[in-house]
Structure 1
Amino acid sequence: MKKVAIIGAGQVAEKVHAAYYKTRTQELELVAVIDPDAGRARDFAEQNGFARSYVDAAEMFETEKPDMVSICTPNRFHFDNVMLALSHGAAVMCEKPPAMTANEAQQMRDLAAKQHLVLAYDFHHRFATDMREVKKAYKDGVLGEVYMTKAKALRRSGVPGWGSFTNKALQGGGPLIDIGIHMLDAAMYVLDFPQVKKVTAKMFQKIGTKKSEGTFGTWDPTKYDVEDAVFAFIEFENGGLLQLETSFVLQMKESSVLNVEFFGDEAGATLFPAEIYTDRAGELVTILKKETADEERHAKSMQAFVDRVLGADVMVADAEQGYQVQRLIEAIYESAEKGESVYL
């Protein structure tokens, strides 16, 4: 039996991490939940089948000695908790983003390698069956040379009305580091993480400081200090281009868009749902089409982490890839803040 603990007793911890761990209790012992709010930690443990609750992570590690830990805290605390878990010999599943900076993500990667431990990130969109279909088409050359990719994680009125999503000090940013990062990872994963040459970006804060209510609840516009939207161009050393668009609030027609498009010289594709198509003599020919997108992505991401810790040779969003994504997020923010391109 592997001992499992969760740090951070919030929504994602309950709906994703605890929900999955409870399906594997023949292999996993749910030993502890840690949260600075003692009452919330206790209630979470009781409601989700964890044996004990703690307010201090260091005490928990010394007492319980878990083998696997989920990190579900606000972004600012990812680094400290991941490093603590790895230093105590625990494999880690960390919510996105990996950290607040690329340097932190690099340190996390290096310690995981030194300790010979699994460090995975919950970039769950890459675990959809849609992803498998499109990545296989890319690998098999069905798309030909993919020279342009468009990744979109857009909401018309989707500022989260809970948690700390509008607090830059705790989150590190707004839609880019919250939802844009998912489609960035999805695009980079399909493209096999090509070498980046240059990043150019612009970000805007035009609406979130004026409004106070949207699809996902209400927020205090006077405490809204993250961006509304980010638009970025990422140029690869191989000549390809990736365009990323992400927003919490944007005056657009659709209520939300979450997808990646790939443009190759042989065929094009979209991810969610998976569709591959080409032009033949002016007519659109569908090579593959799924009617609906796979929605079991979270569970598959958690399954891959647990299976990997138990010894299976399965794909996870690993520490190196997490570092690469974090480095891109940092470069996008840097370019937008400086008003100039950033070379990597």
Structure 2
Amino acid sequence: MRVAVVGAGGWGEHHARIFSRREDTELCGIFGRTPDRTRARAEKYGTTPYTDLDELLDKEQPELVTVCLPNEDHYDITLKLVRTGVPLLVEKPLVFDLTEADSLLTEAGDQFFAINFNHRYAEPVQRAKALIDAGELGELVFATWRFGGEANRGNSPHANLIETQCHGFDMLEHLVGPIASVAAQMTDKTYGAFSTVALALGFENRAVGTMLGSYDSSYAYPDTQRIEINGTEGRLVIHDTVRALTFSKAGDPVEQRWHSTYFDDESRNFAGTFDRHVDALLTALRAGEQPPVHARAGRRALELAHAAIQSNETGRRVSTS
């Protein structure tokens, strides 16, 4: 399958890495806006650089295009690509504006349009999902997401909430179910943007939850990412996305723990969650099916973020059902 990558930035390198090294794909071109960087990236991965997107599409005729651009610059190029009808995989966030999100999804219709919520493909997350689906936790009663790191500043005062904590919204709905309401507290005390946010959540299944996300923290801290889900019969905790999963049964002081084994480097590699997503995505694309994580999930995360913004501005709980 011929795959083109749009974007020559940091995370875009993982797009180039994956599709250049797979035996079932050919990296047919990389588009970037900076000629020297685009040329260097293309040389590194043995493909052709382009600074004209129309030229790439016309000459290479890709069967899949992946998009990894600066967080607030997604809409125009994504819309252009959607209108070509080519199957798409885009990085999060989908966009920052709900009207733009709706425009993209309307234009796309039923074409293949995926978003890379790669946290779903971490080994601890997949094992946690299996435990929940098997009823090992009983009735779910609360869930919490905590994620903090150094700032990735942008023009939007809500960059942290929209471009980083979208993973939290997606993860909690993936594991627990639809979020029915949001109540928010946010602070802009450090550099003028709402860099730290605390949310109270209500789920449609009557469980409750919390989200705490911060750009005023550090990725160096242990458990900078932590998911805890409690049920009437058990509790699980996901540590740093890929590092470990712990599971305890109610009343039992003996804790079960999954961690990557000595030879299992892949499952403790965060970037490898993207490789796993690509495995599932290509299987679906070749079978003529919809993507395993549709771009609608990106729109849903954005909807929840905007509800949190509204809650913070009004001081009221906002329904999201």
Shorter-chain TM-score: which interval? 0.7 to 0.9
Structure 2: how far apart are the matches of 1:76 and 1:175? 12
Q: Secondary structure at the match of 1:10?
A: coil
Contact 1:262 1:268 in 2 (8 A): yes
What letter is aligned with 1:294?
R
Contact 2:8 2:41 in 1 (8 A): yes
What letter is aligned with 2:114?
A
Instruction: State which of 18, 21, 44 in structure 2 corresponds to 1:20.
Output: 18
- Map residues 73-112 of structure 1 onto 2, 5 A cutoff: 73-112=69-108
Identity %: 23
Contact 2:112 2:291 in 1 (8 A): no
In structure 2, the CA distance between the partners of 1:314 and 1:136, relative to structure 1 (3 Å rule), is farther
Match of 1:235 in 2: 202
Instruction: State which of 172, 176, 190 in structure 1 corresponds to 2:175.
Output: 190
Match of 2:314 in 1: 338
Instruction: State which of 253, 257, 260 in structure 2 corresponds to 1:289.
Output: 257
Q: Secondary structure at the match of 2:5?
A: strand
What letter is aligned with 1:107?
S
- Map residues 291-306 of structure 1 onto 2, 5 A cutoff: 291-292=259-260, 294-295=268-269, 296-306=272-282
Structure 2: how far apart are the matches of 1:305 and 1:173? 30
Contact 1:108 1:319 in 2 (8 A): no
* Count of residue pairs brought into register by the alignment: 308
1:125 matched to 2:96? The reply is no
**1:91 deviation in Å?**
1.2
Give the TM-score, by structure 2 length: 0.87
Structure 1: how far apart are the matches of 2:245 and 2:102? 33
1:48 matched to 2:33? The reply is no
What letter is aligned with 2:213?
T
Match of 2:298 in 1: 322
**1:255 deviation in Å?**
5.8
What letter is aligned with 2:124?
D
Render the CA deviation track for 1:94-142: whole Å, top value 9, x for unaligned. Answer: 1111111233333333333x2x432221111110121121111111111
Match of 2:263 in 1: none
Structure 1: how far apart are the matches of 2:223 and 2:236? 19
Contact 2:285 2:291 in 1 (8 A): no
Q: Secondary structure at the match of 1:201?
A: strand
Give the TM-score, by structure 1 length: 0.81
Aligned-residue RMSD, C-alpha: 2.5
Unaligned runs of 5+ in 1: 160-164, 210-224
Match of 2:184 in 1: 201
